[in-house]
């Protein structure tokens, strides 16, 4: 089992590797029960590290503490935002139309392929 310090490297400490190491990546692949070819694993690890690098670049941008949080940089006001819609439950008017599009139906249910799986240890 990897310790928290190994899994989540401290990005503020320049002496530590700032990214997903091969050890961490292999541990994550095992937890996710993936089977990756070496080329796929190398590519995926590189892409994940690119995403982490982009996140760290965004984290490094200095922002004043008095700036309110918004999702797109524009405050939500009645003039700049659409009103929120009511959450209402609307049952499907014709569920049979959806079910009838399935390649196989049994007793009104869609039949899906049985996908065998392994129990994770």
User: Could you list the pLDDT tens digit for every one of the 121 residues in the chain?
Assistant: 555 554 455 555 554 556 899 999 999 999 999 999 999 999 999 999 999 999 999 999 988 888 766 666 677 777 777 888 899 999 988 988 989 999 999 998 999 988 887 776 6
Q: What is the pLDDT of residue 72?
A: 67
Q: What is the pLDDT of residue 39?
A: 97
Does some domain include residue 109? Answer: no
| CA end-to-end span of the chain | 13
Does some domain include residue 21? Answer: yes
Does some domain include residue 64? Answer: no
Does some domain include residue 99? Answer: no
Number of domains in the chain: 1
Contact 80, 74 (CB under 8 A): yes
Q: What is the pLDDT of residue 85?
A: 86
Does some domain include residue 86? Answer: no
Domain assignment of residue 40, given as a range: 4-59
Phi, psi of 43 (to 5 degrees): -65, -50
């Amino acid at each position: 089992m990897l310790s928290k310090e190994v899994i989540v490297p401290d990005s503020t400490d320049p002496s530590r590797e700032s990214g997903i190491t091969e050890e961490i990546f292999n541990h994550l692949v095992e937890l996710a029960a993936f089977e990756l070819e070496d080329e796929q694993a190398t590519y995926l690890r590189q892409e994940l590290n690119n995403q982490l690098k982009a996140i760290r670049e965004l984290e490094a941008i200095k922002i004043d503490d008095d700036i309110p949080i918004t999702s797109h940089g524009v405050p939500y006001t009645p003039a700049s935002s659409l009103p929120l819609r009511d959450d209402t439950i609307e049952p499907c008017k014709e569920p049979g139309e959806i079910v009838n599009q399935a390649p196989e139906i049994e007793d009104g249910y869609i039949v899906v392929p049985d996908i065998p799986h392994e129990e994770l240890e």
